[in-house]
Amino acid sequence: MTSTPSPSGDKHGLDGSILAKNALSGPPRLEDIESAIEEEPPASRSKIVSWASWDWGSAAFNAVATSFVFTVYLTSDGMFTDKTTANQYLSWGMVAAGILIALLAPITGQRADRAGKGVRMLGAFSFLVFVCLALMFFVAPDSPLGPIGALWLGIGLLGAGNVFFEFGSVNYNAMLNDISTPKNRGAISGFGWGAGYIGGIVLLLFLYFGFINPEVGLFGVTGENGLDVRVSMLIAAGWFGLFAIPVLVNPPKKRVVRHDIPHESIVDSYKKLFATVASLWRESRNTLKFLIASAVFRDGLAGVFTFGGVIAGSVFGFSAGEVIIFAVAANVVAGIATMAFGPLDDRWGSRRIIMISLCLMIAAGLGVFFLYRYGATTFWVLGLALTIFVGPVQSASRTFLANVIPKGREGEVFGLYATTGRAVSFLAPMMYGLAIALGARILGDGVDATHWGILGIVVVIALGLVLMIPVKSQKALIGESAS
């Protein structure tokens, strides 16, 4: 069902009794407006599907560019340089992107909220991601830039794509409150995440059988000069662009739009950002605790996928094709699990889903470390077990936060969510490297210690779990005092 105006024609379908009640005392109070809005029917199925379509298309960037195809291509030993150097350069590029996101994501969201331009901003950033994906076609070892120059071009495009994708995600996530109610928010959020994983499955399978696996793929494409991967990035660009369109032409109806906000400068935006942080500190410190805890464990989740392909190849001897097959299986498992956990999120509560999932991820990660000598079977079983809980944690975190955001400030607070998530984006890569260095020191020279990197990721997830313990349930967060 779609939301319709009330017989009296009040904006947002507000009941006339609200206006009558406040006729002598001034305009409707914010709490009355929010109460009436909350009673509106949920968004139509077409708007929910249009919204989730962006998640489906996002697999082109998340799965293909950052996790299993393009980054593996950039860091392949001997492709542009040795794999150690390539990984170091890649990490520096991602740190730079993370700093930009941390500085700009919150004011991007809040400015879009105030101007009522969330859809327009989502469209702009989606287009920029599309451009970055398409330009990855030109990242070739034999390019005029030379191998190292081409490597830096690829890292630059990946970093810029990350910045634009995160900015777009701020506006996209802020739409969740516009298509859901507290009763179905977990299920709809899980549906979106699940669509992303399923989209990743379809796209990865097409790229694997069409270009990556065969010696001569579709249209006569081969692996010479990385052409199979480069053409795959063109396909990924088209995929993302196509599935970003539905939410732009059929966007959710904004439940609260503020038209009385004058033009503001960047400095003004930062002042309002600091005011937001200060108000959260005074009125809902648990929200800040959650933002900090989620920043840490979400970076651990990112580490699972960022280094999953590297671990599969370096520690367990997977070929490039086998890495993609594992990626497909991981997306199947994660997609099913995310959709299955969505209703449980509504029933059990987001906090419980997060805590249980993190505990089981730690157990699976430790299993990968201690049982790595048993070979590929270990990674297939326990690696897939890890991916079961990545999606539910991400979805439940989004739901947890969405339930406590005041109407009209979704982009602002989700901007903080993006900021805190990226403010520690160095943590998983750093712990991964430090753990390998520690393992090399313990095992001695000449002994491969790559598998120790798994412990670094586990430590980050465990730290996030510890920080999550004092965070109260959703109901306790609402109307919480600072005491």
The predicted-structure confidence for 101-115, as pLDDT tens digits, reads as follows 767 765 665 555 555
Q: What is the pLDDT of residue 465?
A: 95
Taking the CA atoms of residue 346, residue 347, residue 348 and residue 350 in that order, the dihedral angle to the nearest 10 degrees is: 0
What element of type H or E holds 242?
A: helix 227-249
Percent of the chain with pLDDT over 70: 76
Euclidean distance between the first and the last CA atom of the chain, given in angstroms as a whole number: 42
Residues 6+ apart with CB under 8 A from 366: 458
Q: What is the pLDDT of residue 327?
A: 84
Which residue in 246, 275, 298, 295 sits closest to 110, CA to CA?
Answer: 275
Low-confidence ranges of the chain (pLDDT < 50): 1-40, 256-257, 259-260, 475-483
Sign of torsion, CA 235 239 242 248?
A: negative
Is residue 389 within 8 A of residue 396, CB to CB? The reply is no
Is residue 52 within 8 A of residue 43, CB to CB? The reply is no
What element of type H or E holds 22?
A: none
Half-sphere exposure of 83 (CA within 13 A, CB side): 11
* Residue 84: count of CB within 10 angstroms of its CB: 10
Amino acid at residue number 281: W
Q: What is the pLDDT of residue 481?
A: 45
Locate 334 and state its tokens: 């994660």
